[in-house]
Amino acid sequence: MSVPRSISIFGATGSVGASTLDLVRRDRKAWRVVALTANCQASELATLAREFDAEIAVVADESCLAELRDALAGSGIAAAAGEGALIEAARRGADVTMAAIVGCAGLAPTMAAIECGKTVALANKESLVSAGALMMAKVRESGATLLPVDSEHNAIFQCLAGSDIADVARITLTASGGPFRTRSIDEMRAMTPAQAVAHPNWSMGAKISVDSATMMNKGLELIEADHLFPVGLDRIAILVHPQSVIHSMVEYRDRSTLAQLGAPDMRIPIASALAWPRRIDTPCEPLDLASIGSLSFEAPDETRFPATRIAREAAKAGGGRPAQLNATNEIAVAAFLAGRIGFLDIAEIALRALDDWSPATPAALDDIYAIDDEARRRAADLTGLAANA
Ligand code: NAD
Ligand code: MG
């Protein structure tokens, strides 16, 4: 019998966290759970920590620590809270760390896990968008294995299968187009948070669902791909593919194109990252192309969905721009979900923010945090203005 591998899951109570734990639950003997974390869902986290016999459970929000301690009383599982505790938990250095916190809040624990030099399965795209150059440098320095979990990037990783990046002519990121793919600008103006989070193919957390509706998700993924697969931004294309069956493609210099296909179920890319370079069983539906019948493709419409253009410009500018864009978008999405601004204001605020202020190039992680803070403060002002408009 092989020795179990250890795993920590940051963002264990979220959508990606739940999919990861579902796979762990199906093969309990293969895994030893080190750390499970959440923002503030103390009782849910404690239930998971008990089920998986974790070493430690951590809530980011310190005001939830007492509840977590109570819920874990008598279990022998350690309880901790705060960003420092998240970093400490990441430093326990599990064989595999699943980075599935949403937003730039995941940056510090993800960097701490990378420093351990083991395997980091990365779902938390915002941390790579904000600190891409620093994060990739840390991966090289520590010798960590960074495996992309985002379905498109996992697909590209699989299609590359160790090929030389110099032989890649083009990477195509597919996009479902989100719930408003066929809506006019006037229709989109009135869309509610409930309509925006109702994704046609994927079941995901609220923030990424709104990002899919604005297509900022694809913009962030463009920046993510630029760091993970450095073929040059001009060689990374976006293609709308409403069925979400082809998860992305790699075209080589000889014009051979490889695609990865599968049901739109995150457990497939998560399984690929957990098992890499092997494969494991998943409970996911096999692909039934005969019943799907046909696959369709469209060019992205950057008039109705300007977010991909805004993100491409931020990626081209580089420096602190991607961190600024990410933080601005996080604030705008939160304001939209809270009912304070309209759907179209999200991309409008991103545009205005990038016009209003240009951050200096970050040299260290502290510079990223400073840009993140400043961008959030300015974006909060802009959401206030949009709300009053
Ligand atoms: P989610 O909202 O369902 O879960 C987020 C997790 O992060 C929860 O456990 C939550 O408690 C925790 N969290 C939230 N704020 C936090 C904070 N400030 N500090 C610490 N922890 C915090 O999100 P999700 O849909 O699971 O997405 C997680 C990440 O994976 C995101 O970066 C998203 O872009 C990426 N991703 C998700 C999917 C998907 O299908 N859901 C697909 C691709 C990529
Ligand atoms: Mg994706």
**Could you tell me which residues are annotated as the binding site for Mn(2+)?**
150, 152, 221
CA dist 165 and 241 (Å) reads 25
Determine the pLDDT at residue 186.
Answer: 97
Nearest ligand, CA 125: 1
Domain extents in the chain: 5-149, 150-301, 318-389
Q: Does residue 201 have its Cβ closer than 6 Å to ligand 1?
A: no
pLDDT tens-digit readout, 188-232:
999 999 999 998 888 899 999 999 999 999 999 999 999 999 999
Question: Does position 1 have pLDDT exceeding 70, yes or no?
Answer: no
Q: How confident is the model at residue 314 (pLDDT cuts 50, 70, 90)?
A: very high
Could you tell me how many helices (H) and strands (E) the chain has, helices first? 17, 11
Nearest ligand, CA 202: 1
Determine the pLDDT at residue 199.
Answer: 87
Q: Do 109 and 38 contact (CB within 8 A), yes or no?
A: no
- Give the closest residue to 5 by CA, choosing from 276, 281, 265, 269: 276
Mutate to test the pocket of ligand 1, among 8, 13, 15 (most ligand atoms within 8 A of CB): 15
Percent of the chain past pLDDT 70, that is, above it, reads 100
Compute how many other C-beta atoms are within 10 angstroms of the C-beta atom of residue 85.
22
- Average pLDDT, stretch 262-286? 97
Determine the pLDDT at residue 2.
Answer: 77
Compute how many other C-beta atoms are within 10 angstroms of the C-beta atom of residue 182.
10
Q: Does residue 320 have its Cβ closer than 6 Å to ligand 1?
A: no
- Reported as type and span, the H/E element at residue 98 is strand 96-99
ipTM of the complex model: 0.99
Q: How confident is the model at residue 389 (pLDDT cuts 50, 70, 90)?
A: confident
pLDDT tens-digit readout, 132-167:
999 999 999 999 999 999 999 999 999 999 899 999
Q: Do 125 and 132 contact (CB within 8 A), yes or no?
A: no
Determine the pLDDT at residue 335.
Answer: 98
Q: Does residue 41 have its Cβ closer than 6 Å to ligand 1?
A: yes
Q: Going by CATH, does the domain composed of 318-389 fall within 1.10.287.110?
A: no
**Could you tell me which residues are annotated as the binding site for 1-deoxy-D-xylulose 5-phosphate?**
125, 151-152, 176, 199, 212, 217-218, 221
Determine the pLDDT at residue 231.
Answer: 98
Determine the pLDDT at residue 30.
Answer: 98
Distance from residue 222's CA to the centre of ligand 2 (Å): 10
Q: Does residue 42 have its Cβ closer than 6 Å to ligand 1?
A: no
Backbone angles phi, psi at 73, to 5 degrees: -55, 130
Percent of the chain past pLDDT 90, that is, above it, reads 96
Question: Does position 387 have pLDDT exceeding 90, yes or no?
Answer: no
Nearest ligand, CA 60: 1
Give the predicted TM-score (pTM) of the model: 0.98
Class of domain 5-149: alpha beta
Backbone angles phi, psi at 76, to 5 degrees: 80, 0
| Partners of residue 22 on adjacent β-strands | none
Determine the pLDDT at residue 46.
Answer: 98
Do the first three CATH levels of 5-149 and 318-389 match, i.e. the same topology? no
